[in-house]
Amino acid sequence: MLLLSPYIDGELSPSERIVVERHLSACKECTGRTADLRAESGLLRVGLEMAVDEVDFKDFAQKVMARVTPEKPPLLERLKLSLSEMFLYQRTVLISSMATAAVLALVAVPLLLRDKAPLGYAGERMTVKSVHVYEEARASPVVMETEDGSTIIWLVDQDTPAPGEDTSSQDAKDPDADPTEATPGKALPAAKDPETPKEGAL
């Protein structure tokens, strides 16, 4: 009788199964019990399935995920967050432009005070090889070639004799900048000689 339960589960060894089946063919009672066990097993399954079907699992996984994932703030919070991020970003821009102004002042003030052109402060990797000045150009561009083949075009505005504010001087601090787009700040000493540059542009 104990073997009937594993029998219906298909968990008997082949030899045990043969013994049970032989017995079942002769014993009505055990055949009845086997049928009962099978019916019960089916009922259990159907019964639980019915109960599970009553449940809506639509949000289940979502709820579990909400509990296991790092906190995801609600919409309003996220909106606030992105707004403050935006503000932060703008503040960074603001700060960096202020920093630029400060650097410009630092660079421009000594330049203005000096009569002589400063010694070159080109980066180690970039040295001026040759300088061509196109005299006939109104903006008086200065074209320079660097050692690694990059070309620097320096435009000198001659119309406005304003205080020498050099917007590009900040770039001179970054010698690792894209070599094809060389920094005009480094060309400053060369351009300085013929006439005082007021504005530079690439």
Q: Binding-site residue total for other proteins (CB under 8 A)? A: 40
Q: Which of 67, 124, 135, 136 binds other proteins (CB under 8 A)?
A: 67
52 touches other proteins by CB under 8 A: yes
| Token code pair at residue 57 | 């699992």
Q: Which of 19, 44, 98, 112 binds other proteins (CB under 8 A)?
A: 44
Residue 76 C-beta: closest distance to other proteins, Å: 23
Task: Using the minimum distance from each CB to other proteins, give the nearer residue, 6 or 179.
Answer: 6
Question: What character string, x for contact with other proteins (CB under 8 A) and - otherwise, covers 1-30?
Answer: xx--xx--x-x----------------xx-
Asked if 34 and 7 count as a contact pair (C-beta separation under 8 A), the reply is: yes
- Contacting other proteins within 76-135 (CB under 8 A): none
Residue 4 C-beta: closest distance to other proteins, Å: 8
47 touches other proteins by CB under 8 A: yes
State how far the Cα of 157 lies from the Cα of 171, in Å rounded to an integer.
Answer: 19
- Distance between terminal CA atoms of the chain? 96
Task: Using the minimum distance from each CB to other proteins, give the nearer residue, 39 or 101.
Answer: 39
For 183, what's the count of Cα atoms within 13 Å in the CB-facing half-sphere? 23
Q: By CB under 8 A, which span of 63-71, 100-108, 122-130, 151-159 interacts with other proteins?
A: 63-71
Q: Which of 18, 19, 64, 109 binds other proteins (CB under 8 A)?
A: 64
Task: Using the minimum distance from each CB to other proteins, give the nearer residue, 57 or 121.
Answer: 57
State how far the Cα of 40 lies from the Cα of 117, in Å rounded to an integer.
Answer: 102
Asked if 201 and 141 count as a contact pair (C-beta separation under 8 A), the reply is: no
Query: Could you list the residues that contact other proteins (CB under 8 A)?
Result: 1-2, 5-6, 9, 11, 28-29, 31-52, 55, 57, 60-61, 63-65, 67-69
